A and B are shown apart, each in its own frame.
Chain A
């Protein structure tokens, strides 16, 4: 492997890791704060990718607008959907056993998958890279790297920074952190925990949908795309330590590197490497790398 191939693989690993982080951060938020094991999170990612495909013509005809308008419309829709979903399917489940929520989210996966099939069909679709970002950057003498992949990394980093600031610097972030530590205490201090949960759920869904939309041009859009992402995101969440955004970022980058270089260096064993890594880390640190307080 020469230097420029190595550099390209590094950039790919970074981009894949950051994208995983984006999906996993919503999962770890919902999980860490609300205690809900949300199996439908992968479906949210799929919904996002299909939005990037199906919304684009509608947005173009209404607003005359391009890729970025589609992103904005998609995220706005996702926030509304997340808010309604939490109200309709989860708001009465918090007092019950965790596994009841698992059952609920499993039912939701099936429903999402079929609604997608009914509304958009079962074909594989491609989504075009927006013209503004369609170029490539030269890398070394022979290689080039697509600008769009750098854009994905940039979006993910910006969101990671945004989340960090919201959590550590704002009143909302403080309430969310308090709510994850002690639900009853926060409630008795006069904070509307139900509303807080709804906001967290909606935000988690919006982030997953955004990740799906941003990823659509590079990964293409296909049925069952949520399943793969879901499992790998659980791996990220657990390696990082449940509820820890910082841990999720580190774990996602780790998985990105292991998976990308695994495919290059050990193609026969690429699929299993991630799981071996997770088993080793959890046997070494049974609570993940960063246990949330």
Chain B
């Protein structure tokens, strides 16, 4: 119990100390990964927390990002105090609409309906004048908070993103232990039984879906601010798929799984893309990433989170106790 808490605290402490040793490339990379981690946490609430596999999470991410860019003015920097909530609310509002309709379906049908709604959002920004087409839109002036925070500075943005990540993680951890979170866990394990015990499950699922959309919107906002640029690819199903892969890779059912998964996925990608290590073969980085993912599935039945529990058994050559997992 405490080792898990210690692990998470150590991760956050390392992230807080990282800018002291890193150069600008490292800061940019880790900022990006932390944004992905927030994004992955939003999906973990649905998939690991509630048992709803959403394949359209990129829509909420993209809506957060596009809202930030579209509402910013070109003449003077907008205030973080209203731009951030506006982006989160816009994403949450779309999630409320999508959730209220798609939660009528279950299982794979749910996966595909959420994909359908994400594709609709994708085509709106891709094919209408609103979203600037495939070229995307630039964010000329990054948001500020008075004189306190200027997100144009990479160091400030790093700190702000880390703060958001810690808050989202802590918020979801508290949520998971609340009555609401227990009800979501109950829905994941056996929705029929939850209904039989007198829970009206639909509002719970819808609330989880909306909160998740809002958090994804926060991640999208941060991503737009970091890159100063949005384009329709932020809403494509490739991104929805990638974030799903991150949390499965990390291990479902654990918040830290989303954290580990986002870092593992992004760092593996960086590793295999690195020309310093692989030379000309770095062009074929998908191969290394794909083989690593396959190796993870073969060796780890519960994702990277299960590594400490399975590693000793593997090293000793004993049969691992996969069936004993709760």
Which among A103, A118, A234, A288 is the interface contact of B296 at CB below 8 angstroms?
A103
Within 8 A of A (CB), among B113-138: 113, 115-117, 119-120, 123-124, 126-127
- List A contacts of B238 (CB < 8 A): 227
- List B contacts of A205 (CB < 8 A): none
Per-residue CB proximity of A219-260 to B under 8 Å, as 1/0?
A: 000000001000100110010001000000000000000000
**Given that A103-B245, A110-B293, A111-B291 are known contacts, is A288 also in contact with B286, CB under 8 Å in the complex?**
no
Interface pair B290/A109, CB less than 8 Å apart: yes
Which among B115, B117, B292, B294 is the interface contact of A108 at CB below 8 angstroms?
B294
Does A102 have its Cβ within 8 Å of any Cβ on chain B?
yes
**Given that A103-B293, A242-B108, A271-B127 are known contacts, is A279 also in contact with B116, CB under 8 Å in the complex?**
yes
SS class, residues of chain A in contact with chain B:
helix
Interface pair B105/A275, CB less than 8 Å apart: no
Which of the 9-residue segments A6-14, A47-55, A93-101, A158-166 touches chain B?
Answer: A93-101
Q: Which of A39, A118, A279, A286 counts the most chain B CB atoms within 10 A?
A: A279
Closest-by-CB residue of A relative to B281 is A118
Does B207 have its Cβ within 8 Å of any Cβ on chain A?
no
Interface pair B104/A114, CB less than 8 Å apart: no
**Given that A268-B127, A271-B127 are known contacts, is A107 also in contact with B297, CB under 8 Å in the complex?**
yes
Does A272 have its Cβ within 8 Å of any Cβ on chain B?
yes
Does B85 have its Cβ within 8 Å of any Cβ on chain A?
no
Interface pair B287/A115, CB less than 8 Å apart: yes
- List B contacts of A147 (CB < 8 A): none
Shortest distance from the beta carbon of B81 to any chain A beta carbon, whole Å: 35
Interface pair B105/A286, CB less than 8 Å apart: yes
Which among B101, B112, B241, B245 is the interface contact of A235 at CB below 8 angstroms?
B112
Interface pair A234/B252, CB less than 8 Å apart: no
- List A contacts of B187 (CB < 8 A): none
Interface pair A104/B294, CB less than 8 Å apart: yes
Does A282 have its Cβ within 8 Å of any Cβ on chain B?
yes
The contact sample of 11 A-B pairs, CB cut-off 8 A, is A99-B248, A102-B244, A107-B294, A111-B294, A113-B286, A114-B286, A234-B112, A242-B108, A271-B119, A279-B113, A286-B106
Per-residue CB proximity of A264-287 to B under 8 Å, as 1/0?
A: 000011011001101100110011
Interface pair A238/B106, CB less than 8 Å apart: no
Complexed CA–CA distance, A146 and B301 (Å): 51
Does B237 have its Cβ within 8 Å of any Cβ on chain A?
yes
What is the interface of chain B, defined by CB distance below 8 A to chain A? 47, 53, 101, 104-106, 108-109, 112-113, 115-117, 119-120, 123-124, 126-127, 237-238, 241, 244-245, 248-249, 252, 284, 286-287, 289-294, 296-298, 301
Closest-by-CB residue of A relative to B323 is A95
Shortest distance from the beta carbon of B278 to any chain A beta carbon, whole Å: 12
Shortest distance from the beta carbon of A150 to any chain B beta carbon, whole Å: 32
Within 8 A of B (CB), among A54-109: 89, 92-93, 96-97, 99-100, 102-104, 106-109
- List B contacts of A108 (CB < 8 A): 290, 294
- List B contacts of A104 (CB < 8 A): 293-294, 297
Does A144 have its Cβ within 8 Å of any Cβ on chain B?
no
Complexed CA–CA distance, A107 and B112 (Å): 21
**Inter-chain pairs besides A279-B116, A279-B120, 9 sampled, C-beta below 8 Å:** A39-B241, A97-B252, A103-B249, A114-B290, A115-B287, A271-B123, A272-B120, A272-B123, A275-B115
Interface pair A110/B127, CB less than 8 Å apart: no
Complexed CA–CA distance, A100 and B236 (Å): 22
Complexed CA–CA distance, A232 and B1 (Å): 44
Shortest distance from the beta carbon of B84 to any chain A beta carbon, whole Å: 29
Interface pair B301/A111, CB less than 8 Å apart: no
Shortest distance from the beta carbon of B57 to any chain A beta carbon, whole Å: 14
- List A contacts of B105 (CB < 8 A): 282-283, 286
Q: Which of A92, A106, A235 counts the most chain B CB atoms within 10 A?
A: A106
- List B contacts of A278 (CB < 8 A): 112-113, 116
Interface pair A275/B293, CB less than 8 Å apart: no
Interface pair A107/B291, CB less than 8 Å apart: yes
Closest-by-CB residue of B relative to A272 is B123
Interface pair B127/A99, CB less than 8 Å apart: no
Complexed CA–CA distance, A245 and B190 (Å): 30
Shortest distance from the beta carbon of B96 to any chain A beta carbon, whole Å: 16
Does A202 have its Cβ within 8 Å of any Cβ on chain B?
no
Complexed CA–CA distance, A234 and B109 (Å): 10
Does A209 have its Cβ within 8 Å of any Cβ on chain B?
no
Closest-by-CB residue of B relative to A241 is B109
Interface pair A99/B53, CB less than 8 Å apart: yes
Which among A107, A118, A283 is the interface contact of B101 at CB below 8 angstroms?
A283
- List B contacts of A114 (CB < 8 A): 284, 286-287, 290
**Given that A108-B290, A235-B112 are known contacts, is A283 also in contact with B104, CB under 8 Å in the complex?**
yes
Does A136 have its Cβ within 8 Å of any Cβ on chain B?
no
- List A contacts of B286 (CB < 8 A): 110-111, 113-114
Complexed CA–CA distance, A275 and B290 (Å): 29
Shortest distance from the beta carbon of A170 to any chain B beta carbon, whole Å: 28
Interface pair A96/B301, CB less than 8 Å apart: yes
Complexed CA–CA distance, A37 and B115 (Å): 15
Does A4 have its Cβ within 8 Å of any Cβ on chain B?
no
Shortest distance from the beta carbon of B320 to any chain A beta carbon, whole Å: 13
Shortest distance from the beta carbon of B284 to any chain A beta carbon, whole Å: 5
Interface pair B116/A110, CB less than 8 Å apart: no
Does A5 have its Cβ within 8 Å of any Cβ on chain B?
no
Does A187 have its Cβ within 8 Å of any Cβ on chain B?
no
- List B contacts of A110 (CB < 8 A): 286-287, 289-290, 293
Closest-by-CB residue of A relative to B289 is A110
Complexed CA–CA distance, A105 and B297 (Å): 10
Complexed CA–CA distance, A106 and B142 (Å): 36
Does A117 have its Cβ within 8 Å of any Cβ on chain B?
yes
